[in-house]
Each structure stands twice: as structure tokens, then as C-alpha cells.
Structure 1
Amino acid sequence: MNLINVREEELKDIFDVLEEVFRELKIDYYLIGAVARDIWYSRGNKQFRRTKDVDFAVMVGSQREYEVLRGYLKMHKGFIGTRENSFVLISSTGIQVDILPFGDIAGDTAVRIEGMGLTNIQVDGFVEVYKSGIAGVELTTGHHFKVATLPAIILLKLIAFDDRPEIRFKDARDIANILEHYFELQADFIYGNHLDLFDDNRPSFNAPDLSEISGIVIGREIKRITAGNEQLQARLVKILQTQIGEAENSSFVRNMVAETGSTVEEALERLNSLLTGMDF
């Protein structure tokens, strides 16, 4: 039995509700965050730590359209808001759903709404991921959702960490875990699209550590996703360069080490491989 498929089945009711409401209100969306990551892991029969959160990026044109969506879920589907975060709703079964708006609602890549607690978020990269970093996936629940790819998830997590490093320590752990397992999860994709990495000047298939190849491929994919947005690319490069420069003094690097049991040098090599891929 694939235990991660059980996780998808546990979310069937919430997926049913959200799919219905998004369709009714004609709102386009894609899955991000832990559930998106778990979907890709399940295709490789990998497990990750469990989370009760579900994260959707929703394309809306205005604050009013976003409030209509939130109001509909509250009035007709039993959701309730929270005092801590105005972008979060709790389902009638207790599942936390983060509904993160992007599109025309975001003026200068920031979204500000009326509410309590957190009412202001940065959504750098959301449009780029929507255009070039999602894939249609058939879930075990029968739903067909657009899901952020693993490189797109890393892209968004780098930005999320940079926005709020004091509370986003799990992003570094998630990125480290994806880098560690990416090759085995996406080997066919790597061989089919990045075969040049296996020539005489690149790490070979028999190399003891394939994480360099994984990092370069992810870096290339991030560069492809962000093509046309030089400001976003520069920000991502700066984030990586900053963490690499701080080395063992970086909380990001320390969390990578804690997640994988690697050394600081190995964590830095993986971050450098991302940079290498983005420079191709």
C-alpha cells in the first residue's frame, strides 16, 4: 500500500469542496506547499513528514473577488477564519487551508487585504510558476489538479524563507530533502532533458553523490520558470549567495544539515549546484 496515497484520500472531501467552489466562481488555481510536494513524493513511493495544511494559489483580479471566495466558503461550506492569518481558513473537519491570491490583486508583488493578524503577503514567483512551473496530475482521489513542480516548490520556498526567515525554518529543511531525493524521484525527466550533464565534463551516473546533478537540473528549471523576470532571478541568486556566504552561521544552512545529516560543506555544495544551474 502506498501510504502517501492514503494521505490524498484523507483530503478527498476538502478537495471536492474546493474544486466545486473554484469552478462555481470561475477561479483558476494550483496546489503548492506540502501537499504538492507529497504528491510528487508519492509518485516515487517516498514519504515525508505529515502536515495538516493544504495550500492553494488562486488567481484573482481584485480584493473583492478574493473576499467573495472567502465569504462563499464561510457561508456555504462551513469554513471559519482565524485571528492569526487572514489568508487561512479552517474547514468544518479542522483542516487548515491557506488560500494565497496572486494575479491582478497583487500590485507590486504584494497582496494586502482587510482582516486580522497577517494581512500582507509577498507573492513573488506565483505568476511565473503558474505560467511555467505547474503540471497536471491525476490524484488517487480522482481529482485532476495543477500542481507546482518540485523546482517550482523550491523557488517559492526560497522566496518565502527570504520574506520571513524568523519563522520559515522548515523551508530550508524541505529544500534539503527535495535536493537529496530529486534524482530518484525524477530520473526519467533528468535523463530525457538534461543528458548533457552526463558527458565527460560532468558527474557520471556512477558518481557517489548525484545531488550535484539534481541541484543543477533544479537550478536550470528555476531559470526556465523565471525567464523574462530578471528582477526575480536576481533575487533568487542573491538569496542563495547570501546563505552560501554565511556558511555555518546561516540558519538556512544549519537546518539543511539537520534535515539530511549532511555536513556544512555538503549543504553548501548543494546550494552552489543550484546557482550553477541558474547560470547555464
Structure 2
Amino acid sequence: MNLESIKQGGLKAVFDTLEDTFKANGIDFYMIGAIARNIWYAKGDVKFLTTKDVDFAVMIGSREDYKNVREELFKRGYTESGTNAFVVISPEGLQIDLLPFGALEIDEEVKFEGKGLTSIKVNGFQEVYNMGTADVILETGHQFKIATLPAIVLLKFIAYDDRPELRFKDARDIINIIDHYFNLESEFIYENHADLFGGENEDITLEEISAMVIAREIKKMIRENKDLNLRLARIVSGNIGLMEKSTLIRNMVNESGKDVEKIAAILEAMLKHLKE
């Protein structure tokens, strides 16, 4: 996987430090967010925005483990964020989100003392860890678990639903992934989801096919979590019901240039396979 086109200044050094720190503390982790998305986009001829954020989901067994990771990073020149207790700033100026999940969760929420944001929801993080990552060898020489595109869609739906007033970019990212998914994963789709072609689906768009496949892949991840299953279906169906009054749909329209009816058709295709 060629990471050259998405490499930020000092990214290799950041990866070296984080990998060493996680391993020294016996912590497993995977990459999420914009960098993870861009790694998959780099497989094809897909343009994407660069980012100064690097997001890792880290499996933490105790508050002490999380504290130790942060303290080790501070010894290596990292600094605290004044606005987010789950963020550290690298010596190169990159924002590193360390999002803990695992034994610390209370009703799928994690709270820490600190400055600014001190509470986050981690609904779906465990499911993605279990079934929604792939090992990728990066151009930097690192081999990391990377959240798959369907996993990223799952987490973005949840993040949007938790804080819709702040997370408007999530809606845009979701439709952007759906728009590019078929070209990026056409071989996988033909090999594993050939039943979606023809028959009653003969006249649907490739974006709707992509939405169906993404929904099926998400369904595999969350099958054992009935509450999460219901929540995701509720998010999608609720926004379909609102149509042009839905902020999520309006953001998808703005990102994609599609009209409300086309966005609704894509979400309907996704909802159908979430409910299977």
C-alpha cells in the first residue's frame, strides 16, 4: 500500500513512537478516521483531502494503562491538548486521537479527567476490532490494523448520531465512501456479492449496490449486538423519514451533488440489508 501521497510531515516518526509505546504497554490498537479512509482511497485513483489528525482506537484494560501510554508519549516530546482529554500533540504538530475502548466502558461511554472534552462514546469500537479491520503494510514500513471502509461508515453513522450539531462532516464522508466504494472494491463485490446484480436490482445504481454491500459487511460486524443493530437501523430509517429536513441527507446532497431522492434511495438500499 503506497502511503506516499497521504504522508504528512513526520508521519513515520509518529507511527514509530506510537507503535513502540503501544507494544511496550501491551496494548492492541487499530487506525480509524481520515487517515484510515485515505489508505483505502490510495488503492485507486481517488482524490482525498489531507489531514493533520491521526486517529487510533486503543484497547485499554484500565485507566492506569491509558495514563501510562500518555505519560510515555509526554516523555517523548508529545504535549497535552487544551481542548480534548483524548488527544495528544506530536512534536511535529500532528493531532493524535487516542480513543480508548474495552474494559473501561460504562454503557459504551468512556470518561477521563482532563481539559475540554472528557467523555466520548465508543459504541461499535469493539465490533470493529473483532471483525472490521484488515492488516495493511504501509509505505512507512509499519503493519497496522486499519478499519475497513464499511467499518468507517459504521463509526461515522454513530459519531454523527451522538453529536449531529458538531459532526456534519461524517455525513459527507459516508456518501463519499459510498460513491467510491464500487470502484475501489469491485473485485471483492463481484466475488462475494454477485447475487445483488440482475433480477429485482437490474435498474439500480452502482452507488445503491455499494450501499447494499457496505450494509452487509456492517451487519457481519454487529450481528451479535442487537442494540447496535437496532440503533443503526433507527439512524438510517429516521433520516429517510425526514427527507430534505434531515441534516444528514442535506450534507450528503451538498457533498455528492445528488438530489434528495437519490440519497434517500441509497439509504433505503442500505436499510434493506441492515434489516435482513
Of residues 249, 253, 256 in structure 1, which corresponds to 2:252? 256
**Pair 1:272-2:268 in alignment:** yes
**Paired residues, number:** 274
Q: Is the 8 A contact 1:8 1:140 kept in 2?
A: no
**Pair 1:200-2:196 in alignment:** no
Q: Is the 8 A contact 2:233 2:275 kept in 1?
A: no
Match of 2:38 in 1: 38
Could you tell which deviates more after superposition, 154-163 or 261-270?
261-270
Q: Is the 8 A contact 2:8 2:52 kept in 1?
A: no
In 2, distance between residues paired with 1:89 and 1:147? 20
In 2, distance between residues paired with 1:270 and 1:48? 22
In 2, distance between residues paired with 1:239 and 1:34? 22
In 2, distance between residues paired with 1:39 and 1:150? 10
- Counterpart residue identity of residue 73, structure 1: L
In 2, distance between residues paired with 1:62 and 1:259? 40
**Pair 1:7-2:14 in alignment:** no
Q: CA deviation at 1:9?
A: 6.3
In 1, distance between residues paired with 2:77 and 2:268? 46
- Listed as ranges, the matches of 1:159-170 within 5 Å are 159-170=158-169
Match of 1:20 in 2: 20
Gaps of 5+ in 2: none
Relative to the length of structure 1, the TM-score reads: 0.95
In 1, distance between residues paired with 2:45 and 2:137? 16
**Pair 1:234-2:230 in alignment:** yes
- Counterpart residue identity of residue 113, structure 2: E
- Counterpart residue identity of residue 179, structure 2: E
In 2, distance between residues paired with 1:90 and 1:228? 36
Deviations 1:60-88 (A, max 9, x none): 0111211111111012x111111210001
Q: CA deviation at 1:278?
A: 1.0
- Listed as ranges, the matches of 1:1-280 within 5 Å are 5-8=4-7, 10=9, 11-75=11-75, 77-203=76-202, 209-280=205-276
Q: CA deviation at 1:250?
A: 1.1
Could you tell which deviates more after superposition, 30-39 or 59-68?
59-68
In 1, distance between residues paired with 2:140 and 2:185? 23
Q: CA deviation at 1:279?
A: 2.1
2:201 alignment partner, SS class? coil
Q: Is the 8 A contact 2:34 2:51 kept in 1?
A: yes
- Counterpart residue identity of residue 255, structure 1: N
Q: CA deviation at 1:45?
A: 2.7
In 2, distance between residues paired with 1:9 and 1:170? 21
Q: Could you say if the C-alpha distance between residues 250 and 90 of structure 1 is closer, same or farther in structure 2, counting changes exceeding 3 Å?
A: same
Q: CA deviation at 1:107?
A: 2.1
In 2, distance between residues paired with 1:195 and 1:121? 39
- Counterpart residue identity of residue 54, structure 2: V
2:42 alignment partner, SS class? helix
Relative to the length of structure 2, the TM-score reads: 0.96
Q: Is the 8 A contact 2:112 2:119 kept in 1?
A: yes
Q: CA deviation at 1:198?
A: 1.3
Q: CA deviation at 1:203?
A: 3.1
- Counterpart residue identity of residue 126, structure 1: F
2:200 alignment partner, SS class? coil
RMSD over aligned CA atoms reads: 1.3
